[in-house]
Amino acid sequence: MIAFAAAELKHRLTEADQKPVWVDLGGGTGWNIEQMSLHFPIDQFERIYLVDLCPSLCRIARERCQKFGWTNVVVLCEDAVRFELPGIDNLNAKIDLVTMSYSLSMMDNYFPVVDCVHDWLKSETGILAVADFYASTNLDKSGSEGVEGYFCNWWTRTFWTIWFAFDHVHFHPSRREYLDHKFQIRKSINCRNSFYIPYFAQVPYYIWIGERKKEEADMSAPITKLSHRLSSDSLAQENPIHESTLYRLQVTDLSPRAGDDTQDSPLGTPCSASSTQTLSLSSSTFTLANKDPLDKRFGSRLSHWRMSYNPTLACHTQFRSYIYAFTWEDPRIDLEALDLQRDDVMFVITSAGDNALEYALKGKPSRIHCVDMNPCQNHLLELKLAAINMLSYTDFWKLFGQGQHKGFRRLLIDRLSPVLSSTSVQFWYKNRATFDTNFYETGYSGLALSLFKWLVWAKGLTGAVQQVSTTEEISTQVRFWESVIKPATMPEWFVKWVLSHPAFLWNALGVPINQMKLILDEGDAVEYIYDTLDPIMHRSLFKDDQYFYNLVVNRQYTPTSCPSYLTQEGFRSLKESGATDAMVLHTSSIIEVLRSMRDGELTKAVLMDHMDWFGPADAEEEIKEVARAMRTGGMVLWRSAGREPWYNALFVKHGFEVAAVGVRVPGSGVSIDRVNMYASCYRAIKL
């Protein structure tokens, strides 16, 4: 909680701000202040007030102050309901930070305490941070922040409420409910303390960050620009992020261009860090969106990029993780076919977000609507967007190039949390070990990579596979595939066995039954696999062009074989141009988002292989909405497992001219793109 609060505080402070004032209610022995020193220099606070009712704890706190030489800390042995802060005549809107660490649950008369805290906090920058135990209510909280992981089972609610009540610790949900009512939630993370017996003895606790609710006038303010960059020198540095490294960020409010939902702004100057634990001032800019015209149609924003959604719906709770840790469509073909312009408004399926970032990097459209029913896919893209704007290239490459970063937990809390939505922070905090080993072996797609890794090891093919991924000769790549790897890993009986299990097809490969039927209607599944892989070996080198298959082989990218946004040049361009501001993440069905679009709002849409999953009725319903929302002359791009998918005729029926971008010819040995996983790619133009 202290680390999250420090990160939020640093993010909100500007050069014009005076040193912050912190009140720690129920601060006990001063341990919280000692922990804060790891994240925010104590001497950079104007004043710190520790308030506690217990004389013996206050005595230890004073001794701690003397030990560390904190001359700006005032220890008050008083009731949290009735006390005065020496040195501050009028508390209203004067305090930058209030923390309550396992103290709210011990206050009998908590209503006036929460009311006072609300009045104390600065209206624009003040924050309240709480960490405490809780028991959930059974009331519907579907429209609330922080609902994921909130509900406790009957045993947890009953047992721990009774148990802690013996020590006057109150688990009743009314305390937390009043916080949610009084404040605007910024972060709300629900956790369980795994005691000795994992299930029966899990103590529920929460980390909660809130601010004063903005007035209606403030909430209708225009969207503000989000941009942040590090200096050119820092992009090349290999310095890790230390807990003591501090950044001071300047908040700016920029006006939108007339008739456009996005803005351009001047970029900030390099952000420096102080090794002497003093705040370093910079003119780097990074501001969060408040409201923009999108909100009226798509709901409120959870973060700069993320639109609100109800995480309790069954359509979302069915997903426990992302299916795709990487995107399996070739964006080079998309960019050639779509000819993106800066005034384009795009509609894309999120997946892992790789292609959406390629569109932002290469085409810089004015808006990219990223849509996915699986909230975890949007959690992943939101993390990438936050990392591009807030991290150095070195850290970004470790996360999504190498897929491994031992310091991810610290980066998440200290650098990324202020700009992530609460739901995304909850997900990544719960899965903070994701980058400890290999990110690309996580998610359902990680099953396929893990299976391939095991198969290569079991067949003794490690050396041959490495030759394929490092050779500079196409002939060597083809020779190892044809004579060594293919006979050992792709016998006909094995391919048939894999393709006969729908559960594996969906969970590992993301292939639903309807899509498999398209393959079987036009030929043999085994031939389909060979027609996919054989031409790839002749097309280009894994080493510097085939980053899709090189990722499968190595379970990480290399500097010469990776998506453009992962290169240092691409990363720098996205960071400095503010192209990521175009992203809007919708956690909803495609049809629901399309229905929220105005007639003719879209100019480009990429549906991936999504239409393969549908039956005729659902497909026509969606195509009708695409046609309504698409501007005349606009383009729709899709891929299919079928060479001539049946739904092409539906696009023609609803006013599109359909033409093939590429169609695979069985047995020809020619690929249609660098992935070649699909039998066809089509483009439709709205007439």
- CB neighbours of 366 closer than 8 A, spacing ≥ 6? 260, 261, 262, 342, 343, 344, 345, 582
d(C-alpha 135, C-alpha 198), whole Å: 17
Q: Is residue 665 in some structural domain?
A: no
CA distance 208 to 181: 13
Contact 280, 274 (CB under 8 A): yes
Whether residue 524 is contained in a domain is answered as: yes
In a domain, residue 403? The reply is no
Residue 484 neighbours by CB under 8 Å, 6+ apart = 461, 464
Q: Considering only CA atoms, which of 667, 679, 671 is closest in space to residue 538?
A: 671
- Residue carrying the six token digits 């045993």: 155
Interval 482-533: pLDDT, tens: 888 888 766 655 665 555 555 555 454 556 666 667 776 777 777 888 888 8
Over residues 111-128, the mean pLDDT reads 91
Last residue of a domain, one of 517, 534, 554: 554
Query: Considering only CA atoms, which of 588, 619, 625 is closest in space to residue 605?
Result: 625
Residue 263 lies in a domain: no
Report how far residue 361's alpha carbon sits from residue 354's, in angstroms, rounded to the nearest whole number: 11
Say what percent of the chain tops pLDDT 70: 81
| Dihedral, CA of residue 417, residue 420, residue 422 and residue 426, to nearest 10 | -60
Residue span of the structural domain in which 461 resides: 445-554
Q: 306: which residues sit within 8 A by CB, 6+ positions away?
A: 378, 382, 421, 423, 424, 585, 587
Q: Tens digit of pLDDT for each residue in 180-199?
A: 999 999 999 998 887 666 66
**Which of 213, 240, 257 delimits the end of a domain?**
213
Q: Burial level of 162, CB count in 10 A (0-12/13-18/19+)?
A: exposed
Name which residue leads in pLDDT, 663 or 147: 663
Burial environment of residue 209 by CB neighbours within 10 A (0 to 12, 13 to 18, 19 or more): buried
pLDDT over threshold 50, residue 219: no
Instruction: Report the 10 Å Cβ neighbour count for 294.
Output: 19
The pLDDT tens digits of the residues spanning 294-340 come to 656 787 888 899 999 988 888 898 888 998 899 989 999 999 999 99
Tell whether the model's pLDDT for residue 242 goes beyond 50.
no
CA dist 30 to 35, 130, 423, 543, Å? 9, 16, 31, 55
State residue 449's pLDDT score: 84
Report the distance separating Cα 388 and Cα 556, nearest Å: 18
Q: Would residue 124 count as lying in a domain?
A: yes
For all residues of the chain together, what is the average pLDDT? Answer: 83
The residue among 1 and 84 whose pLDDT is bigger is 1
* pLDDT range class, residue 465, cuts 50, 70, 90: confident
- Output the pTM of the full model: 0.84
Q: What is the pLDDT of residues 407-423, one digit of tens each?
A: 999 999 999 999 999 99
Domains of the chain: total: 2
pLDDT at 49: 95
Mean pLDDT of 413-434: 94
Measuring CA to CA, how many Å separate 600 from each of 128, 218, 586, 606, 654?
A: 44, 31, 19, 16, 14
| CATH code assigned at 101 | 3.40.50.150
Q: Give the model confidence (pLDDT) of 393-409 as tens digits.
A: 999 999 999 999 999 99
In a domain, 126, yes or no: yes
Q: How far apart are the first and last CA of the chain?
A: 55
- Higher pLDDT: 289 or 400? It is 400
7: in domain = yes
Domain boundary among 487, 520, 554: 554
- Return the DSSP state at 581: G
| C-beta neighbour count of 588 within 10 angstroms | 24
88 is a domain residue = yes
> Does pLDDT of 425 surpass 90?
yes
What is the predicted pLDDT for the residue at 483? 85
Helix (H, G, I), strand (E, B) or coil at 57: helix
> What is d(CA 286, CA 29) in angstroms, rounded to the nearest whole number?
36
CB of 158 closer than 8 Å to CB of 173: no
